[in-house]
């Protein structure tokens, strides 16, 4: 498949400057390190490099990609399936059913993606053979170290006796590369300080005593109205506390943190992506490596202790030369060295209406790729229902066994009533609110 065909499948016109430089300077005879900001397209950059290494007809796992989070693993899987047509690609991660993963690994994938703990679990039980793995990618490696995965990564790499190519990516500059990676002589591409990838952010602060922080947050959300907003907290209990407040005010939102079931986390991100919900409250779990485009506003209800974490949170908005707003909510006595003292203060002294809920709702459909159902099939099915038009259908995501579609909230009940237990591609499907 040509590069142009791949770009068409990715629905992009051309590679960005970082991706072009990676293609130009990559040398398969040397290890490779890529420093580039969150949201700059690192996954496609290294995915294209694998065109040099994956071989048709070769048995066993050829390439292993290690990532710090389940969500990033799933995101990479989707990109790789668009880039590497005809290769089996498998994703393994904590929280997923181990038996299902074991069955997938019986017929070895060419490309295996996973979190360190789960990959080591399968290695230790001989669920796949590591002897044919020649290429290792350590994606968001700095985050993997921060999460404490060094021991697991080291144990995995020790078992990869046939490695010829090592690729490491990071969203922060790494002055020292840990010895356990085995990285020797390498080529580096560093786009961390490039103006072309620098976000265009407007930063403002909100000053509120501890007992009024929640009220300040609520007023800020009301003032911002329909803007798509990520609210960052340091702890899960703060996320849940804010969620309770918004529930009381009947403001639609979702929460995202490590205490949720994987399926709930994936659904929260999906509904945020398709604009069913405009507010997502999260911990730093959502700060990096997640596919959540077009965020208008970042609110730091609690600020991280390190500037790097602050930068990565802000990387969720103003991606790839877009513009975004960042608000920090501070108690009067709080002082963070990375927040300039002359930062403009946002005044919240007006009377604001409640932010309107999104006009879209997400519906679940009990059929997916394994049923040969695609987006076109779902659109056709919906438009054949009475009084449903294409303007009322939003973003559709089709997974292996189910699909999710954003529809105008005003017609959601009508679609469920008409479409439930009808057939798509010969399969009777259930339709319900997600």
Domains of the chain: 3-194 (3.40.50.300), 199-330 (3.40.50.300), 360-433 (3.30.70.330)
pLDDT band at 291 (very low <50, low <70, confident <90, very high): low
pLDDT of residue 289: 58
Handedness of CA 178, 181, 184, 188 (dihedral sign): negative
Mean pLDDT score, 75-92? 93
Inform me whether the pLDDT recorded for 31 exceeds 60: yes
Stretch 112-130: mean pLDDT: 96
pLDDT of residue 195: 46
Q: Angle at the Cα of 20 (from 293 to 311), degrees rounded to 5?
A: 40
**Residue 305 pLDDT exceeds 90:** no
Least trusted range by pLDDT, from 131-140, 220-229, 285-294: 285-294
In the chain, % of residues over pLDDT 90: 72
pLDDT band at 37; cut points 50, 70, 90: confident
Average pLDDT rounded to a whole number, residues 303-331: 78
Give residue-wise pLDDT tens across range 41-56: 899 999 999 999 999 9
Averaged pLDDT for residues 162-179: 91
pLDDT of residue 318: 44
pLDDT of amino acid 2: 81
Mean of all residue pLDDT scores within the chain: 90
- pLDDT for 322 equals 56
Q: What is the pLDDT of residue 290?
A: 64
Return the structure tokens found at 124: 């230790």
Cα–Cα distance list, 253 to 62, 285, 355, 377 (Å): 41, 17, 11, 29
Please tell me the predicted confidence (pLDDT) of residue 113: 97
Q: Per residue in 338-375, pLDDT tens?
A: 998 889 999 998 889 999 989 999 999 999 999 999 99
Q: Each residue of 239-271: pLDDT tens digit?
A: 999 999 999 999 999 999 888 888 898 899 999
Q: What pairs with residue 168 in β-bridges?
A: 33, 138
Quick check: 221 and 229 in contact, CB under 8 A? yes
Q: Which residue has the higher pLDDT, 245 or 314?
A: 245
3-state DSSP percent of the chain in helix, strand and coil, to 5: 35, 20, 40
Q: Does position 319 have pLDDT exceeding 50, yes or no? A: no
- Statement: residue 320 has pLDDT above 70: no
As a whole number, mean pLDDT of residues 286-295 equals: 68
- Radius of gyration of the chain from Cα atoms? 23
Above pLDDT 70, what percent of the chain?
A: 94
Phi, psi of 404 (to 5 degrees): -130, 135
Q: In this model, does residue 197 exceed pLDDT 50? A: no
The mean per-residue pLDDT over the stretch 177-200 comes to 80
Most confident of 7-21, 126-140, 278-292: 126-140
For residue 261, the model assigns a pLDDT of: 87
Arithmetic mean of pLDDT, 157-181: 92
With beta carbons less than 8 A apart as the criterion, state whether 307 and 280 touch.
no
User: Can you give the pTM of this predicted structure?
Assistant: 0.68
- Among the ranges given (231-240, 256-265, 289-298), the one the predictor scored with the smallest mean pLDDT: 289-298
């Amino acid at each position: 498949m040509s590069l142009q065909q791949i770009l068409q499948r990715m629905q992009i016109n051309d590679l960005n400057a970082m991706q072009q430089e990676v293609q130009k300077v990559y040398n398969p005879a040397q290890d490779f390190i890529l420093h580039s900001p969150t949201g700059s397209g690192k996954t496609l950059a290294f995915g294209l490099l694998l065109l040099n290494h994956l071989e048709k007809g070769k048995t066993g796992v050829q390439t292993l990609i290690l990532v710090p989070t389940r969500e990033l693993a799933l995101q990479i899987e989707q990109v790789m399936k668009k880039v590497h047509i005809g290769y089996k690609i498998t994703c393994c991660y904590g929280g997923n059913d181990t038996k299902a993963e074991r069955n997938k690994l019986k017929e070895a994938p060419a490309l295996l993606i996973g979190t360190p703990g789960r990959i080591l679990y399968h290695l230790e039980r001989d669920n796949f053979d590591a002897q044919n793995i020649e290429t290792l990618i350590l994606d968001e490696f700095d985050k993997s170290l921060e999460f404490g995965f060094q021991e697991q990564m080291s144990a995995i790499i020790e078992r990869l006796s046939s490695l010829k190519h090592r690729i490491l990516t990071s969203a922060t500059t790494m002055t020292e590369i840990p010895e356990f990676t085995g990285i020797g002589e390498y080529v580096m591409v560093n786009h961390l300080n490039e103006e072309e990838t620098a976000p265009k952010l407007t930063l403002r602060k909100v000053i509120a005593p501890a007992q009024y922080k929640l009220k300040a947050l609520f007023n800020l959300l009301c003032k911002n109205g329909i803007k798509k907003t990520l609210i960052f907290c340091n702890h899960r209990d703060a996320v849940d506390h804010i969620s309770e407040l918004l529930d009381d005010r009947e403001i639609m939102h979702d929460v995202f943190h490590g205490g949720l079931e994987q399926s709930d986390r994936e659904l929260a991100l999906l509904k945020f992506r398709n604009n069913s919900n405009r507010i997502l409250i999260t911990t730093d779990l959502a700060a990096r490596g997640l596919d959540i485009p077009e965020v208008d506003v970042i609110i730091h209800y609690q600020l991280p202790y390190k500037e790097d974490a602050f930068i990565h949170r802000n990387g969720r908005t103003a991606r790839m030369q877009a513009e975004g707003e960042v608000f920090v909510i501070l108690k009067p006595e709080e002082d963070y060295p990375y927040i300039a003292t002359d930062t403009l203060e946002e005044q919240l002294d007006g009377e604001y209406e409640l932010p309107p809920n999104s006009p879209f709702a997400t519906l679940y459909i009990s059929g997916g790729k394994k049923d040969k159902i695609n987006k076109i099939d779902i659109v056709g099915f919906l438009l054949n229902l009475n009084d449903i038009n294409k303007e009322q259908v939003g973003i559709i995501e089709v997974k292996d066994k189910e699909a999710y579609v954003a529809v105008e909230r005003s017609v959601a009940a009508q679609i469920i009533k008409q479409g439930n237990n009808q057939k798509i591609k010969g399969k009777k499907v259930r339709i319900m609110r997600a």
